Amino acid sequence: MQLIRSRKFYTLPFSLVIAALATAVVLSGCNRLSVKDTLEGEEYQLVDQFSERVNFPAAYQGKVILVGYVYTHCPDICPIITYNMRDVQRALPDEENFMLVSVSFDPDRDTPEILYNYADSYRVDQQNWRFLTGNRNQVESLLSKLEIATVKTPTRFVDERPIYFIDHTDRVTLIDKKGQIRRTYPGSEFQAEDIVDDIRILLSEQ
């Protein structure tokens, strides 16, 4: 005769189950948002769409920053990146300690005026969104630090205007209040709600 060993089942209090699940979620978020690198001590002298000088990232110290990388002549994924970032901005309309930054990797054509018009064409709130350009060496140094690669196509001229395109890394970067890089996302494919959740976690950090 086969013997079947009896099993005793114990039911945990509901409050303990909820606490355990909450802890698991927090730990999962912490691991996802672990520090990948830091911009502490770095200085990049750039210019925003209002022609104001910006020492990046020190100018936004104490704020959570979502950084995207675009250029205004981009025919494909840059518009998608900008629209996706705009969705994030609109989901966090009253967060004073949150900034969006778009860095142009085409400083030769993307002047402050061009960037202002670009931002205006997307109907973004420019109060907490800066579009940065500047000296090519400064821009390229920042892009290298953030692991953004670019490849420029050969230039042709139409009515003396240079025509070229730039292949580039499809990415946005989430930076915490201390200038630490906490997570990256595919810029043209991310879900706004996922980034919003991560931003709220970083905003709650002291």
pLDDT in tens, 61-95: 999 999 999 999 999 899 999 999 999 999 999 89
What is the pTM for the complete model shown? 0.83
Cα angle vertex 18, ends 12, 23, to 5°?
Answer: 115
- Helix 192-204 and helix 77-91, axial crossing angle in degrees, nearest 10: 50
Query: 161 by DSSP, 3-state: which?
Result: strand
- Helix 192-204 and helix 14-32, axial crossing angle in degrees, nearest 10: 100
Strands 98-104 and 37-38: unpaired
Inside any domain, residue 7: no
CA 90/CA 86 separation, integer angstroms: 6
Inside any domain, residue 42: yes
Inside any domain, residue 60: yes
Q: Give the model's pLDDT for residue 104.
A: 97
Q: Which domain holds residue 96?
A: 35-204
Number of domains in the chain: 1
Neighbours of 95 (CB within 10 A): 16
pLDDT in tens, 20-63: 444 444 444 568 899 999 999 999 999 999 999 999 999 999 99
Cα angle vertex 105, ends 103, 108, to 5°?
Answer: 115
Inside any domain, residue 148: yes
Residue 143 has which token pair?
A: 């892009």
Inside any domain, residue 80: yes
Inside any domain, residue 170: yes
Helix (H) or strand (E) holding 18: helix 14-32
Check which CATH number belongs to the domain holding 178 and give it: 3.40.30.10
Q: Are 65 and 187 in contact (CB under 8 A)?
A: no
Inside any domain, residue 8: no
CA 184/CA 168 separation, integer angstroms: 15
Q: What percent of the chain has pLDDT over 70?
A: 85
Q: Give the model's pLDDT for residue 21.
A: 41
Inside any domain, residue 10: no
Where residue 125 falls (left for φ over 0; alpha for ψ -120 to 50; beta otherwise) is: beta
Residue 17 has pLDDT above 60, yes or no: no
Q: Are 170 and 78 in contact (CB under 8 A)?
A: no
